[in-house]
């Protein structure tokens, strides 16, 4: 047995290395979504240089907008949210999801990165994931697994985005492990047709629930 390599922070200068253009648009990979081109000098952008054209993912398109806050309630401009989710049919695009009866979507991978902008705001465009199995015979409610990383965050903070208007939340085996008073921190709130709000508070009042996985 050897020991795990320890975590370290991403620091403040990850923008030219991790969040690629289109990385926060899981539907089509469009434009600069997720990247911070304002922080990368001309000629030094090496991520997704071909801006791969792809089709449009199947499913209900949703936009999730939020701000990442520190313990003083100050927005965090040097952070990003990393995403992993199933497609609209509830299938992961992963060799370890072998449920062939559920279709993969050739236009959907389900992995993304969304940088916060100068005001600490991130915007994710994706499709609402289908339900996936949980422990025992349970089914989980639609959710997106997230890792929050930033300068000053020395190892990732793991959480989940659920949808507040989703009836199956009451059956979700993971939400059930969260004290009721704190569950709202995991719910993206509808604010318009296909539009959701999901703020992330790293510390203090209304602190987002973070998981040990």
Partner 1 sequence: MSLILPYNREEEGAHPPFLSPDYKATIKRSPQQPLIRIPQTLTEVTGPAGRWDRLMGPAIADLTKIGTGEAIGQRIVVSGRVLDEDGRPVPNTIVEVWQANAAGRYIHKKDQWNAPLDPNFTGSGRIITDDQGRYRFYTISPGAYPWGNHYNAWRPAHIHFSLLGPAFATRLVTQMYFPGDPLIPLDPIANAVPAHALGRMISRFDIETTQEAFALSYIFDIVLRGRDATPMED
- Taking CB under 8 A as the criterion, which residues in 41-100 touch partner 1? 41, 43-44, 46-50, 52, 54, 70-72, 74, 76, 78, 82, 84-86, 92-99
Near partner 1 by CB under 8 A: residue from 155, 191, 194, 195: 155
Question: How many CB atoms sit inside 10 A of residue 67's CB?
Answer: 19
Q: Is 170 near partner 1 (CB under 8 A)?
A: no
User: How many Å apart are CA 78 and CA 15, to the nearest integer?
Assistant: 9
CB of 7 to partner 1, least distance (A): 5
**Interface with partner 1 includes 206 (CB under 8 A)?**
no
* Spatial distance between the Cα atoms of 34 and 116, rounded to a whole number of angstroms: 8
CA angle 64, 170, 178 (to 5 degrees): 80
Minimum CB–partner distance for residue 187 and partner 1 (Å): 15
The yes or no reply on residue 18 touching partner 1 (CB under 8 A) is yes
User: How many CB atoms are located within 10 Å of the residue 15 CB?
Assistant: 19
Asked whether the beta carbons of 174 and 136 are under 8 A apart, the reply is no
Taking the complex as a whole, the smallest distance from the CB of residue 191 to partner 1 amounts, in Å, to: 25
Find where tokens 């100050």 sit: 74
One of 136, 167, 181, 192 touching partner 1 (CB under 8 A): 136
Residue 120 sits in the site that holds partner 1 (CB under 8 A): no
The minimum distance between CB 5 and partner 1, in angstroms, equals: 5
CB-nearer residue toward partner 1: 137 or 192: 137
In terms of CB distance, is 64 or 193 closer to partner 1? 64
Q: Provide the 3-class DSSP secondary structure of residue 89.
A: coil
Burial 40-63 (b: 16+ CB within 10 A, else e): beeeeeebeeeeeeeeebbbebbb
Longest CA pairwise span in the chain (Å): 52
| Binding-site size, partner 1 (CB under 8 A) | 90
């Amino acid at each position: 047995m050897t020991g795990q390599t320890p975590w370290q922070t991403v620091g403040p200068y990850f923008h030219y290395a991790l969040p690629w253009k289109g990385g926060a648009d899981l539907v089509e990979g469009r434009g600069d979504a997720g990247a911070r081109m304002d922080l990368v000098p001309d000629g030094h952008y090496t991520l997704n240089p071909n801006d791969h054209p792809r089709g449009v993912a199947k499913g209900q398109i949703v936009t999730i907008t939020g701000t990442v806050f520190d313990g003083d309630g100050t927005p965090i401009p040097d952070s990003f949210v990393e995403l992993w989710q199933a497609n609209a049919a509830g299938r992961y695009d992963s060799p370890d999801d072998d449920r062939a009866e559920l279709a993969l979507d050739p236009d959907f991978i389900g992995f993304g990165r969304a940088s916060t902008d100068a005001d600490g705001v991130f915007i994710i465009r994706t499709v609402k994931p289908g339900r996936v199995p949980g422990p025992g015979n349970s089914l989980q409610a639609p959710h997106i697994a997230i890792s929050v990383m930033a300068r000053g965050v020395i190892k990732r903070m793991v959480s989940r985005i659920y949808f507040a208007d989703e009836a199956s939340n009451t059956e979700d085996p993971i939400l059930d492990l969260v004290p009721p008073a704190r569950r709202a921190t995991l719910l993206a709130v509808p604010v318009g047709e296909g539009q959701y709000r999901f703020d992330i508070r790293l510390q203090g009042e209304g602190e987002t629930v973070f998981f040990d996985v």
